[in-house]
Amino acid sequence: MVKRIRGVTFSTNVSPQIENRILYAARGLFNKFIPDVHIFTDHRAGLSGGLSAGYGVSVVAETTTGCLISADATVSYPNVDEMSEQSKKPELMSPEDLGEQVASMLLEEVAQGGVVDSTHQSLLFMLCALCPPDVSKVRVGQLTPHAIESLRNIKEFLDVKFIIKPDPNSNTVTLKCVGAGVKNLARKIS
């Protein structure tokens, strides 16, 4: 269960109104499910905005168990120097479509279950593999191809094997491993 959703829209060197259009589109979808939604805006222009023009949004859902699940997307305009005279101006996603897309992505991530979203599965597996030689147990949604490749690399480089057990009731996957016990040798002992 999600208890709150937080996020930020950001834009550089475009109209600040674009951020509000993203915000309203995303909130329109989120407010059907949860009332505690706050999405902030961050606009940059001129030198503080850099050389590229574009906009985007990043949203995070916090569950009742304290898990953080995120989704984000951006749209950037091509650099004038990169466009040739013969090429047409590319069609960019509208701010409303971007807001709806990211809101849908977050809702899909929440529906998958697990303690992290699909983009952070491999990071979670790496942390479990590097921890002290104790048993780590995590539940994630459907494994992504990147996460599967990370599990293969962890087995090859750290010789840590994960026991993978699918749960058909919740459509999640439980993974267990014994950490490699990697220590930080650069850390000073007091």
> Domains in the chain, please, with CATH?
2-112 (3.30.360.20), 120-178 (no CATH)
Query: What digits encode the pLDDT tens for the residues 3-20?
Result: 999 999 999 988 889 999
Q: Is 95 helix (H, G, I), strand (E, B) or coil?
A: helix
Q: Is residue 94 pLDDT above 70, yes or no?
A: yes
109: left (phi over 0), alpha (psi -120 to 50) or beta: alpha
pLDDT-wise least confident of 31-40, 79-88, 160-169: 79-88
Q: What is the pTM of this model?
A: 0.84
What average pLDDT does range 34-48 have in this prediction? 90
Please provide the distance, in angstroms rounded to a whole number, between the alpha carbons at the two ends of the chain.
43
Relative to beta strand 172-178, strand 135-140 is: antiparallel
- DSSP H helical segments within 49-185, as ranges? 95-112, 121-130, 145-158
Tokens of 177: 């491993």
Q: Which residue has the tokens 């949860």?
A: 34
Q: Could you give the CA distance from residue 32 to residue 114 in angstroms, rounded to a whole number?
A: 22
Q: Could you give the CA distance from residue 126 to residue 138 in angstroms, rounded to a whole number?
A: 12
CB 101 within 8 A of CB 93: yes
Query: What digits encode the pLDDT tens for the residues 171-185?
Result: 899 999 999 999 888
Q: Could you give the CA distance from residue 153 to residue 146 in angstroms, rounded to a whole number?
A: 11
Query: What digits encode the pLDDT tens for the residues 51-90?
Result: 788 899 999 999 999 999 999 999 987 765 655 555 666 6
Residue 91's contacts (CB-CB under 8 Å, 6 or more residues apart) are none
CB 95 within 8 A of CB 18: yes
Q: Is 175 helix (H, G, I), strand (E, B) or coil?
A: strand
pLDDT band with cut points at 50, 70 and 90 for residue 49? confident
